[in-house]
Amino acid sequence: MRQLVKNSLNLFVAGFGCCKKEIYSTLGPTYDISRFGVNFVNLPEDSDVLVIQGFYNRTGERRLLDCYRSMEEPKWVIAAGKCIVDRSVFCQDYVLTDRLKNEIKIDFYVPGCPPRPEAFIYCILRILEIH
């Protein structure tokens, strides 16, 4: 099943922040992420990959968990950007991955502030096991 889904991955980008700008610029003709059958969708129910990025508070965390639970198996989770991989830029004590470590299992970490579009495509290639 996991192999079948990999032919057409649907991505859902949660949260708000600077990484979103870079992730969506992979849609452009220069990078063209659709070559690998990757689409960006607006509903978590349709998606296979959840991209966590940006800044969160308690309300945001709850919404993120809702999104994660409403996704169907098989699912992958990508943590993009420094704010998620390590800790928030704005607050030294706020570590999202520690707070949600019991609920969400993260498959790939993409560091960078924000990660370049190439770095994000590289992560997708790692999921698809091309590279």
- Contact residues: other proteins, CB under 8 A: 13, 15-18, 20-22, 24-25, 27-32, 35, 42, 55-57, 59-60, 63, 82, 85-94, 97, 107-116, 118-119, 121-123, 125-126, 130-131
How far apart, in Å, are the Cα atoms of 63 and each of 20, 27, 30, 81?
A: 17, 25, 33, 19
Q: How far is the CB of 72 from other proteins (least distance, A)?
A: 19
Residue with smaller CB distance to other proteins, 75 or 111: 111
- Looking at residue 11, its amino acid is L
Residue with smaller CB distance to other proteins, 6 or 126: 126
Q: How far apart (Å, rounded) are the C-alpha atoms in residues 87 and 101?
A: 14
Q: How far is the CB of 27 from other proteins (least distance, A)?
A: 7
Q: How far apart (Å, rounded) are the C-alpha atoms in residues 72 and 92?
A: 33
